[in-house]
């Protein structure tokens, strides 16, 4: 199945992703962007892999439909092999500590075994894009830590708006290669799709604005323990920014050198979430999570820091686990 459309004068100069998503609104713009990156959209017979490609009047665009996402009505509860600790839950909101290795929602290559399916039907009433019920922000598959999901449509809209207004504070711990200079600062660099590797992100001219604050907590001869806070929420933002300044996350298989210091997943952890409750005016929630026990292996190899100190690790008891 596909669609073919000839660009008219009114659409001259339009972005390719905007045109196809407007012409075929059954598919989200995000899904069309993925289809464009994969080469499934042709302009005048040639694949165009840039979502922002500017069209000209008379261009003939042919697009194959992206793979159909899982329907909400077909979703069902699928328990995972690992427990999902629940750190907070009420009638409109749930906050979990996502384990490393767990994909957030069904998609290409991951139709089953996701966080959304493990939480189903707890997030069913939140609605949203098919397969992504309740999702308002994501963590990468191999990044662990705190993540909130909505349980009602009102909460989903309010939380999404809060993210847009940057009133949700998300903080991370990371073990990185080398030493950031200066030890405390801000990385501001636009992030977009890597033009050479379409499955990766990169600091690119014309990318979306992105900013990350950081503070070095401890240093060893060749590594650092860093606290980070997102100002924006771009795909792979922390990993891309750290790699761009020459200090990738330890264990990062995409932007770094892969497994290191005994870490099979990247040493990046979302340890704190702070936000206003989406439906209870004046109630502010702050949740904090101890860094992963598996990082003990890395610390044992590194020994005592030469400068600074590692934050103490306290054991928390989950309210419940799925």
Q: Which CATH topology does 72-321 take?
A: Pseudouridine synthase (3.30.2350)
Gap between the Cα atoms of 241 and 258, Å rounded: 17
* d(C-alpha 195, C-alpha 210), whole Å: 18
Given 59, 140, 142, 194, the catalytic residue: 140
Q: Structural domain boundaries of the chain?
A: 2-64, 72-321
> Do you know the residue count of the chain?
322
**Predicted TM-score (pTM) above 0.85:** no
pLDDT truncated to tens, each residue of the chain (322 aa)? 467 888 888 778 888 988 887 777 666 777 788 788 878 899 998 989 888 899 998 899 988 755 544 444 457 888 899 999 999 999 999 999 999 999 998 876 778 889 999 999 999 888 776 678 899 999 999 999 999 999 999 999 999 999 988 999 999 999 999 999 999 999 999 999 888 887 789 999 888 899 999 999 999 999 999 999 999 999 999 999 999 999 999 999 999 999 999 998 999 999 999 999 999 988 999 999 999 999 999 999 999 999 999 988 765 555 554 4
CATH class name, domain 2-64: alpha beta
- In the annotation, is 10 catalytic? no
Count of C-beta atoms within a 10 Å radius of residue 108: 11
Strands (DSSP E) contained in 220-308 are 223-230, 268-276, 284-288, 307-308
């Amino acid at each position: 199945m596909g669609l073919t459309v000839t660009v008219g004068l009114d659409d001259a100069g339009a972005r390719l992703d905007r045109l196809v998503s407007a012409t075929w609104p059954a598919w989200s713009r995000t899904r069309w962007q993925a289809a464009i990156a994969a080469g499934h959209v042709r302009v005048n017979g040639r694949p165009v892999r840039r979502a922002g490609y500017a069209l000209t009047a008379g261009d003939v665009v042919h697009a194959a439909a992206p793979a159909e996402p899982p329907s909400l009505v077909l979703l069902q509860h699928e328990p995972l092999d690992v427990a999902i600790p629940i750190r907070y839950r009420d009638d409109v909101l749930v906050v979990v500590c996502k384990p490393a290795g767990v994909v957030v929602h069904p998609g290409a290559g991951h139709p089953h075994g996701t966080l959304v399916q493990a939480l189903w039907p707890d997030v069913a009433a939140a609605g949203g894009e098919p397969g992504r019920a309740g999702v308002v922000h994501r963590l990468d598959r191999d990044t662990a830590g705190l993540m909130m999901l909505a349980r009602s449509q009102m909460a989903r809209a309010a939380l999404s708006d809060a993210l847009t207004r940057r009133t949700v504070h998300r903080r991370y711990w990371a073990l990185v290669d080398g030493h950031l200079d200066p030890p405390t600062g801000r990385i501001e660099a636009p992030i977009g799709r890597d033009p050479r590797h379409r499955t990766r992100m990169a600091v690119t001219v014309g990318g979306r604005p992105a900013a990350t604050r950081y503070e070095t907590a401890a240093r060893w001869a060749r590594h650092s323990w860093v606290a980070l806070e997102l100002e924006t929420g771009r795909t792979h933002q922390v990993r891309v920014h750290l790699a761009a300044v020459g200090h990738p996350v330890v264990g990062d298989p995409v932007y770094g050198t892969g497994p290191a210091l005994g870490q099979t997943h990247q040493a990046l952890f979302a340890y704190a979430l702070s936000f206003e409750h989406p439906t209870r005016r004046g109630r502010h929630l702050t949740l904090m999570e101890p860094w992963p026990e598996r990082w003990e292996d890395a610390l044992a190899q590194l020994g005592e820091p030469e400068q600074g100190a590692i934050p103490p690790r306290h054991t928390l008891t989950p309210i419940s686990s799925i």
